[in-house]
A = this chain, B = another copy of it.
């Protein structure tokens, strides 16, 4: 059970964008240099966040990416599910309905109790991540972090 390696990239890039002044953007090149990541593949991930409605892409000489809504309204779950989807890691193929032990259909109207418990665990994971916004993450950084982030990323504090 592994999330894509790019999950770390997008979580950090979104956290970085959450530290920019309102209205400013950061380009793929700036973000790639900031974290020493391969720009073409990072661009692909950032576009995924745009499609998910979490980032906005702007064009032009000062174009790039910015948050599409306030940092208080973007959770870690939004970001992780944008790159990895919303499905549970557990796949129920209904083996209870096959083989010598196959249950009759009328006993399978309710979800399998094992699938239900695995789904509950996934919901607990989702609930945990849904409770943390980018604003919460930024609030946990040292007070001097946002100014330094802006300076290093865009050259403007």
Q: Are A120 and B128 touching (Cβ within 8 A)?
A: yes
- A64: min CB distance to chain B, Å: 15
Inter-chain contacts of A35 with B (CB < 8 A): 95-96, 98-99, 101
Q: Are A5 and B113 touching (Cβ within 8 A)?
A: no
Q: A98 CA to B98 CA in the complex, in Å? A: 51
- A83: min CB distance to chain B, Å: 10
Q: Are A121 and B114 touching (Cβ within 8 A)?
A: no
Q: A6 CA to B124 CA in the complex, in Å? A: 22
Q: A113 CA to B91 CA in the complex, in Å? A: 30
Q: Verify if A34 is at the interface (C-beta below 8 Å from B).
A: yes
Q: Are A76 and B9 touching (Cβ within 8 A)?
A: no
Inter-chain contacts of A5 with B (CB < 8 A): 91, 93
Besides A3-B89, A36-B95, A114-B137, 11 new A-B residue pairs in contact (Cβ under 8 A), listed by A number: A1-B1, A5-B93, A9-B95, A15-B114, A35-B96, A76-B114, A80-B118, A113-B140, A117-B128, A118-B129, A123-B128
